[in-house]
Structures are given as C-alpha cells and as structure tokens.
Amino acid sequence: MLCACPQHVEKIIDEALPPTDYRPVYLTSAVTFGALLKERGVTVGSGAEAREGTSTNGNSSTSTGTGTTGANASTTKTGKLALEIRNVDDRRYPEMIELRAFVYDEAGRFVMGLAPPYFAGKGDYHDYWRILVDSCAGTATAIDRFNVTEVREDRREPLAIGYALDHSSSMGELRTRKLRDAIQRTLKLIRRGDRVSVLSFTTKVTMEVPLTGDSATFRKKFRADDLSTYGGGTALYDGALMAIRELSSAPSSHRRSLIIFSDGADNDSDSTLAAVHRAAKQERITIYTIAYGDAEEGPLSELATYTGGKLYRIYSTKEFPFVFADIYRRMNNYYRITYRAPACRGMHTASSTLTILELQKEPLTGFGVYDQSVFTPFTEVGDVAFANIEFDYNLATIRPESMTWLNEVASSMKKYPIMKIEVRGHTDDVGGDEYNIDLSQRRARSVADALIVMGIDRTRLRVQGFGKTRPLVPNDSDANRTRNRRTEFVIVER
C-alpha cells in the first residue's frame, strides 16, 4: 500500500521497471494473407489474393483496420508471426468452448484470410490449424473435431463497452490527464452501432458518460481536460458494479465488455470482488483489466480470467493509448475456435497450433485457460456443487468410476485450505423414510471418508443425509429419480 503524497507516489511508479523481456505488441492494423505473401516475396499460386477479400456468400470485405504509429512503429513488418488466445468463453461447457485467437506480425498487424469464410490458403484450412489440445488434471486431450472461423469488423456483432477508470490520488494529475487523453482517442475508433459508457472512480464513483450509441454525445460528454473527479481513494469494486449496471441496459444483441483501469488496490468500496464477479456473470459481461504501477494484480487477474477476458500489465504512460485501442481492435477482428471439451472438473489449458509454411517453418502456438474446478476463487459460502456419485445398489460403497470426480473435489479443497464443506446425501422416493435417511447419511459419510483418505482434514468436513425430503425434481420418471439421487458439496466456511 502506497501512503506517500501523490507526487512522490507518481515518481515511484514512473521509476518502476518492466521485466527485461517485456516486448508488448499492440494491434495497429490488419493485412491480408495474400498481401503478406507478396511482401515477403512468396508466390501465391492458389488464388489467395482473389479469395481472401471475399466471403463465402460473395460479399466483398476489404477491411484493413485503422493504422496508427507509436508503440510498434519501429518494428519490421517482415518479422515472425505470433498466435495468441485472448478470450475463452466456457459458459456452454462442455458442449462448446469458444476461443478467440489472433494472428499478427511484429508490427501489430492482424493477419486476415486464414479461416473461412475468407480462407485464402491452399487446400483445407485444417492444413493450417492442425492441432488443438485441451489439458486438465495432467491429461492432454487432442481435439479431433473443431471449427475455426474468421470474424471481421463489418460482420461482427454490435458491442456495448464500459470504461471504469481509476482517478485516485495515487494516479497523479499528469497520468490522469494522459489516461483521459487515451480514452478520448479510443472513443474516436468506436464504430457506428456500438455503445459506450465511461465512469471514473475515486472514493466515490462518477458516471461521466451514460451508455449511448450516439458518437456525438459520448465524444461531447467526455472531455480529456476535465479533472473534476480526480483525487481520493480507490473504490474499484463500487466503480465496476456501477459500470456493470449501466451495461446491463444494453440490448441483448450487443456483446458486453467492461474495461477496468487501475494503478492500485481497492481501499474504499462497500462492494466486494465476489459481488463484481457475480454481477458480471449474471449480465454476461466480459471484463478486461489493465494493471498499471502499483496495481494489485491478483483480483484484476481473477476478474478477467473468470469472465473470459484478459489482464493487461503495463508499465508506461506511453502505453495508455495503445492498450485501449488494442482491446477494441481485438473485438473487431479475430479467429473463433469452437470445440467440445473433455469432461474434467479442474483448470483447463487450451492450446491451438497453427502452421503457415508459406511464411515460416516454426509453428505458432497460443494458450488460453478456463476453470471448471468444483470450487473457484469466487465460490461463496452457501454455494452448492452437485455430483452424481455412483454407489453399489442399496449400499454406501462408492463405485470406482466415481473416484476421479472425488479426486477433483479433494484437489479443489487443497487449493483453498481454510474452506469447509458439508457433504449432503439425497435419494429418490423408492423405499421408506427412515431407510432413505439412513442410506443417504451412510453414503455422505462414505464420501467424506474418501476425501479424508485423499488428504482432507476431517475437521473441514460435515455430513448430512436428507433421504428423499429434498428432491430437485418430481420423482415421476426414471430420469428424474436419477437426478434426485445425488451428492451435494456445500461450502459452509471459507
């Protein structure tokens, strides 16, 4: 926690050095696959130039993004390519995982034409997007069936974007001015049909631009030279919640995203980190966080990771305009990878490998993570995790096929060593009341005993059998009875 005067704090932050290998590349524009081949003196020979600007329905698309100069301007355009996964949407797990991938060169140019409907390579696009792996709990699963499509800015869904900006005293007036100037520049990039809101937070939260799709309105309402909200503490969570409430008014057709910028830790909110996460998930909002200076990365990283967004760690005010523009540009052009995930209650790492032999021998690999653990950093007291633990008929003996699931419960509990849970057993309506209460109690005890064998202290476990008294659904079919025969894990303390 920084407790010095704002000028001293500003000096400390300005003197903070990035890691020696810190080489950020921000998206600046786009280049077609055919144009890139020409640049590098490669003979196309496959109709790439003709096809890559045309979608499968015959509509022309020649979008090349918005060029800029600055952070990447000195980088050669003939350098190596990179593949990066910036977003993971696991809301439909395991039926569908969606990855947003970006292919770009060292000048920050997004490479178009590597997937349908704009595919401009030779043969099938899977000859380029060769490998997709989803790893969880030490097991790497090769995904044999997956789809890749290219999304371009003239075809993507409309956006609703909220900006929540730290204006606390630790920012200093100079950096606050530079931050506001960066936002003003970013607002000029916003496309027609998108909606924007802007708020600043200190000890209090000020909504400067309510959500609007009128570009003249948001550009007029937001003034880069207005420092009237500067100074005070850091009510980051309160600011994020207000921004989420504002975004919730966006039409359902709009993809909602919140961008939070902060140079410190929350020290003045009535709200909590968990409340922000819960609200964002409820409103289907992706959170991008920008950590600068003395920012506490942990909470910002968790908010981004667990809403499908991304944490940006920056070190210089010179990066301000580029990082905000980069986030917006990545909403406009990207590759969408979809697949069915392997069932595993744990942290997943998805890796995609792209080979472009026309441009370089080395394959490109990007990684993304998502968490399907039984318990996560945002699991709260009272939350319930359901499990279909299989037992031998009329007995409390756990079947071997259920032990993998229990291992995942134990692993989650080891990650949060002060958490305590209650194991609850439930049955269907077959049999008498006393019999079902006794059976459910014995089965809950068997589950707890198995967790103890796996290394969980018995003081962290309670057991309770409810028999048939708490059905999830009516016991009027075999399928419903199966749903009611269940084991629950309820957090009672964390």
The predicted pLDDT at position 5 comes to 53
> What are the tens digits of pLDDT across the range 379-421?
999 999 988 788 887 889 999 989 988 999 999 999 999 999 9
Other C-beta atoms closer than 10 Å to the C-beta of 473 total: 12
The full set of domains in the chain, from first to last, is 29-154+334-371 (no CATH), 157-316 (3.40.50.410), 384-493 (3.30.1330.60)
Dihedral class, residue 349 (left if φ above 0, else alpha if ψ from -120 to 50, else beta): beta
Q: Find all residues with CB under 8 Å of 331, minimum gap 6, and list them.
A: 156, 159, 161, 255, 257
d(CA 494, CA 488) in angstroms, rounded, equals: 17
Percent of all residues in the chain with a pLDDT value above 70, rounded to a whole number = 90
Q: What is the DSSP string of 287-305?
A: EEEEEETT--HHHHHHHHH
Question: What are the start-end ranges of the E strands in 344-416?
Answer: 347-354, 364-371, 384-387
Q: Say yes or no to pLDDT of 149 above 60.
A: yes
Burial class of residue 270 (count of CB atoms within 10 Å of its CB; 0-12, 13-18, 19+): exposed
Sheet holding 129-136, edge to edge: 139-142, 129-136, 347-354, 364-371
Burial of 294 (0-12, 13-18, 19+ CB in 10 A): middle
Residue tagged 């057991």 (tokens): 463
Location of structure tokens 């909504």: 207
The answer to whether the CB of 209 falls within 8 A of the CB of 198 is: yes
Over residues 356-386, the pLDDT tens digits come to: 999 999 999 999 999 999 999 999 999 999 8
Q: Bridge-partner residues for 201, per DSSP?
A: 166, 205
